[in-house]
Chains A and B, each alone.
Chain A
Amino acid sequence: MSATQSSGPAALSAETRQPGTVRANRILLAALGVLLLGVGVLALLAGFGAFGQRLRLQFVLAPSIEQFVAASPWYWSVVAVVAAVVALLCLWWLLIQTRSDRVSAIRVSEDRTAGSTFLDAGAFTSALEAEIGTYRGVSRVGAYLSGTPNRYRATVRVALDGRIDAGDIHDRIVGQALPMARNALSVTELPFRLEFELPKSTRNIR
């Protein structure tokens, strides 16, 4: 077994096609939660008389509001502008759901006069899957690249059958598959993420 490093995070969050979208969804949904909670609580306070008995018994759409709207010719224009802004924000929100950081081609060389050479990411990941798939103890492999054509990271999901420990498969991938991958891409550095799925038991198959 090779030397192992003991620093680093204790846990990893799930991989996602677009971390920015996950963050945006979380922020916007939380903001919507705050808005709904605020409106609900204020309406409840008004309904239970926290702002005075007069407001409690007043109609929600009071005549004074209708008079104000009728006396303000700019009112509906402001409503339209606000609705247009909300529509644009929603359109952006919907469009970012389709984003993905998966890489379909990686740049293997760049020459200002001769141009750039790209390698199909699928060809690379298929070769990687084929290599790891031959290791004893591995039942299924899936790999993909994420990032940009210039700066990418390989993620490999390995399902084990229980004959070999995850640690030993990890060492074999780091010792054999990773150097092979770096060699194939002619790079010295290639960030790698390995995700292991274990079977129910590791004791009966060995």
Chain B
Amino acid sequence: MRTTDRILSLVIGLALFALSVLVVVEVIYAAVNNPKPLFLPYAQVAEFFRTHSWSAGWIVTGAVVLALLGLLLLVSEVRRRRPALLAMQSADPQVVAGISRRSIQRVLDAEIGAVPGVGKTSTRVGRRTVRVKAVSWAGAPDNVGPEARERGEAALAGLRLQKPPSLSLTLRSGRDS
């Protein structure tokens, strides 16, 4: 998200900067008795708004697009971001250590995926909960669920996290393979 924000900031910043400079240039250009604008299509834009009412289809569509873009931007910026790393316990107060969420996801996918009877897994690592969705083969051993949970919890405990997240495991029966 930080990278997206940075790219968006560069694009919007450049566009707004260029537009603002053009507006200043146009105003100064018009002030020295030049009736025609230099770059900006002022006459066409003014004519469009002069001939379209607030209830016109184009205006309503434009308003919907603006509102949706604004809402999207606002929600994506205000929403609390998922942490990049989960903190580890540390012996030194000056040392902050963490394991990337992607690493934890990979470890759990591998650990739970290695349980006999478990096929595909998909893991989402949150601040407090790790959600693992796994597919068990038809004919998998009866204890596949408890064993997968045990393996997942042991893997999480082995990471020495500051506040280990709880494991939520959903096991779905898949087709015989």
Contact = CB atoms under 8 A, between A and B. Distances in A.
A56 B53 contact: yes
B52 A59 contact: yes
B69 interface: yes
Interface size class of A (residues with CB under 8 A): 35 or more
B91 A29 contact: no
A71 interface: no
B12 A165 contact: no
Contact of B158 (A35, A60, A165): A165
A84 B20 contact: yes
Interface string B75-100: 10110010111111111111111111
Nearest to A78: B27
A60 B59 contact: yes
A44 B67 contact: yes
Contact of B84 (A13, A34, A201, A203): A13
B67 A84 contact: no
B23 A79 contact: yes
A16 B2 contact: yes
Given A36-B67, A79-B27, A87-B17, A2 B83 contact: no
A22 B13 CA distance: 14
A119 interface: no
Contacts of A49: 55
29 contacts: A3-B91, A5-B90, A6-B162, A25-B6, A26-B5, A32-B12, A36-B67, A36-B69, A39-B63, A41-B63, A44-B60, A47-B54, A55-B54, A56-B55, A57-B55, A59-B53, A80-B23, A80-B24, A87-B21, A94-B9, A94-B10, A94-B17, A167-B160, A170-B90, A194-B95, A194-B96, A196-B97, A197-B103, A198-B100
Interface of A: 2-6, 8-16, 21-22, 25-26, 28-30, 32-41, 43-44, 46-49, 55-61, 66, 76-77, 79-80, 83-84, 86-87, 90-91, 93-94, 97, 165-167, 170-171, 174, 178, 189-203
